[in-house]
Every structure is written in C-alpha cells, then in structure tokens.
Amino acid sequence: MSGIGDDVRRGANAFAQLLDDADQLEQAVTSVAGKVERAVGHLADRGTQQRILRAGVGAAAEAAAHEARVGTAKPPPPARAVTRRTTCPRHGDQLWNGTLACKGCGTVFQVFHRDGPRYAEETCPCCDARVTRAKEICSGCYPGIVASGGRAAPWRAPG
C-alpha cells in the first residue's frame, strides 16, 4: 500500500509545482503586458509623435543637402546630339546612340547613358585620350564589338 501513497504524494508535489510554474508564467506575462502598454502609450503621446516627426524631417533635409552636394560635384555629361542619324556600310541608315571608338587604342564606349555599361566621362577609359578625339561608330556594330572584347581596330572602326 505504501507504493500508492508515495505515488499520490509525488503527484500532489508535481501538481503544486505546476501551480507554482503557472503563477510565475502569469507574473512574467503581466510584466511584459505592462511594458508593452507603457510603450504603446508613450508612442501614442502627441509630444512623442512630434519629436519623431521632427527627427524624420531633419534626417530627410540632411539627406537632401547631401545629395545636392554630390550632384553638383559630378561633371556634366559630354555635349552630344542624342537623336541624329548615321550611315553604316553594314547596317545602313540608323539612329546614332552615342557609341564611340577611341582613335588611339580602339576601345569602344558610349556617352549618352551615364548609368549604362561602358560609359566614358571625358576621357577614354583605357588610354585617357579625350572623348572629343574618339571616332563615332555605328550603334548597330557596337554590341558585337563589346561582345568580342570591346576594342575596334582604330583603322577599321565600323561606321
């Protein structure tokens, strides 16, 4: 019989421990709920919202000033006519899209799309020759030249 009594005592102790754990859980949940309630109340306060708004506007103004400084530091793109026609022996009459080949080294680049690939500011990216000394090439030939290494022989530059 003593075995059953021991089992009942152990069961009672486990139940008591379970109730104690439930009390601790309730206290922890109540503490978290109180903190969340205080945080939400603080964020809902008009003064807090005004401080957040002022900080956001201030950060936006600083970012705008920074971008303005960066924008004025960039050199203007080379002056070229964007829409004009050219004739190529291979591709015939077509629009020229600012594609050039350096007369010195034959490197091909383009000058109309600042964020595009192979954009050259004012000098050849390979030999520092001035863009004004580059030879205009056919915009239809340009992708093939780029795909085959990016250099057109200066004396055989298409276009």
Does the residue 22 lie in any domain? yes
Partners of 100 in the β-ladder? 109, 136
Q: Is the pTM of this model over 0.85?
A: no
CB 135 within 8 A of CB 154: yes
Does the residue 23 lie in any domain? yes
Regarding whether 102 and 63 lie in a shared domain, the answer is: no
Residue 20's domain spans which residues? 2-73
Task: Please give the Cα distance from 72 to 64 (Å, whole number).
Answer: 12
Domain boundary among 41, 73, 105: 73
CB 157 within 8 A of CB 101: yes
3-class DSSP assignment, residue 131:
helix
Q: Evaluate if residue 153 carries a pLDDT over 70.
A: no
Number of structural domains (the chain) is 2
Domain boundary among 17, 45, 73: 73
Does the residue 79 lie in any domain? no
Regarding whether 35 and 58 lie in a shared domain, the answer is: yes
Regarding whether 142 and 120 lie in a shared domain, the answer is: yes
pLDDT at residue number 157: 43
Does the residue 21 lie in any domain? yes
Regarding whether 53 and 103 lie in a shared domain, the answer is: no
User: Could you read off the pLDDT of 45-81 as tens digits, one per residue?
Assistant: 999 889 988 888 888 888 888 888 877 766 665 555 4
